[in-house]
Amino acid sequence: MDAALTALIGAAVGSLATLGSAMLTGRNTARAQFVQWRRQHRRDAYAGYLGALHDRDLARDAVLEALRPQDPDLPEVDAKVERFVTLARSVHRAAEIVHLEGPAAAVAAADDVARASEELSAVVRRMVERARAGDTSGRAADTALAAEREHDLYQAVKAFRTTAAGALGQPGTGGVRQ
């Protein structure tokens, strides 16, 4: 084999190796950018959901505070309930984004929050209905049950935060980036 042919074959092999390396580097860079993009969208979804939960929970606390007097101001209660309902709709919209962004563990944790929220909301609705009817017979029991359901909701939100942090690969959560 003459030197020119050997040089040509060597150049071709070198070019193919360089091209292969460039393709792998490009693929790895694209994958890393996609992972970062997905992580950012999930982070935004989780933050939006937690923010909506916080606002809604403050509105629910205002309803419970308005129900506290022996003879609650019903127009005030109704106004606070209306604000709570509006903010609850925002939570549902934010939860839909969590459902879209995933992963399955975060969706399941958000569903647990929704169940705990509904259980507390049922107690608050009953308290409002009884206040409208002037019925104070179950007031102490409803107040105690509402406190228990608030604790359950707090635990569900706390679990969601931990799951969401894990899905984002936050240190100390045992999660991996997906």
pLDDT tens per residue, range 51-94: 999 999 999 999 999 999 999 999 999 999 999 999 999 999 99
Inter-residue contact 138 to 129 (CB < 8 Å): no
The CATH number of 37-167 is which of 1.10.3210, 1.10.10, 3.30.2310, 1.20.1420?
A: 1.20.1420
On whether the pTM is more than 0.85, the answer is: no
Quote the pLDDT of residue 26.
Answer: 73
Q: Is the pLDDT reported for residue 1 higher than 80?
A: no
